[in-house]
Amino acid sequence: MKTLLTALASLLLITNTAFAQVKWSVDPAHTSARFEVNHLGISFVDGTFNTLSGAVETTDSVNFNQAKIAFEIDVNSIDTRIDARDQHLKSDDFFNAAQFPKMTLTNGVLIKGKKGRYTLKGDLTIRDVTKPVVFQVVQNNGIITDPWGKTRAGFTATTSINRLDYHINYNDKLPTGVQAVASDVKIIVNTELVKN
């Protein structure tokens, strides 16, 4: 009986270890979510969201393949360095921040490629629309221990979306027919993760 109990305890320990998850948090002080969009067909306007959070779960402390990712952005923290433009972007012409104050990435899974490159697939919600999205991701220089003893990893993720797909329908045009604000928007996320 003692042998059976020992065997069951060992099996339980192995099972728990196999399914153990390492949790990481996004460091907001060293993370940025930026966007770029063509303006009047001749230049680009960019901006950031200053308030965000996120969590990552990995199977161990060194392997990010199949990592689970969730991310949340406060739309009201949008910053393009021009207050009037920020207020317009918060209006119903764009994000309608009053009704839809959060953007989220849920069900995110990081899939390892070659040489520190990954693909991140997940569900992006903006306003009242949720659509699948794919980010191209680069891990920046592996995993380090910082001067304070914390384990950190850095990544850069990029994608492009069509804002019209997310009911961001502002559609002013020049007399030539060129959109004042282009439909395609580039998204760049630089993030630093800290192991919990």
Average pLDDT of the residues in 101-125: 96
Please give the backbone phi and psi of residue 125, each rounded to the nearest 5 degrees, phi first.
-115, 120
Give the C-alpha distances (Å, rounded to integers) separating 184 from 25, 126, 133, 134, 162: 30, 14, 14, 15, 5
Residue type, 69: I
What pLDDT score does 85 carry? 98
pLDDT at 17 over 90: no
Task: Specify whether the CB–CB gap between 34 and 186 falls below 8 A.
Answer: no
Average pLDDT of the residues in 177-190: 97
What pLDDT score does 16 carry? 43
- CATH class of the domain comprising 20-195: mainly beta
- Length of the chain counted residue by residue: 196
Q: How confident is the model at residue 67 (pLDDT cuts 50, 70, 90)?
A: very high
- What lies within 8 Å, CB to CB, of 95 at 6+ separation is 75, 78, 89, 103, 126, 127, 168
Distance, CA of 24 to CA of 57 (rounded, Å) = 6
* Cα maximum dimension of the chain: 86
DSSP assignment string, 82-103: -HHHHHHHHSTTTT-TTT--EE
Give tens-digit pLDDT for 119-167: 999 999 999 999 999 999 999 999 999 999 999 999 999 999 999 999 9
Distance, CA of 20 to CA of 146 (rounded, Å) = 24
What pLDDT score does 4 carry? 47
Give tens-digit pLDDT for 158-181: 999 999 999 999 999 999 999 999
Task: Specify whether the CB–CB gap between 83 and 47 falls below 8 A.
Answer: no
What pLDDT score does 188 carry? 98
User: How do 32-39 and 43-49 pair as beta strands?
Assistant: antiparallel
What does pTM read for this prediction?
0.87
User: How do 78-79 and 43-49 pair as beta strands?
Assistant: antiparallel
Per the prediction, the chain carries an average pLDDT of 92
User: Per-domain residue ranges for the chain?
Assistant: 20-195
pLDDT at 6 over 70: no
Residue type, 155: F
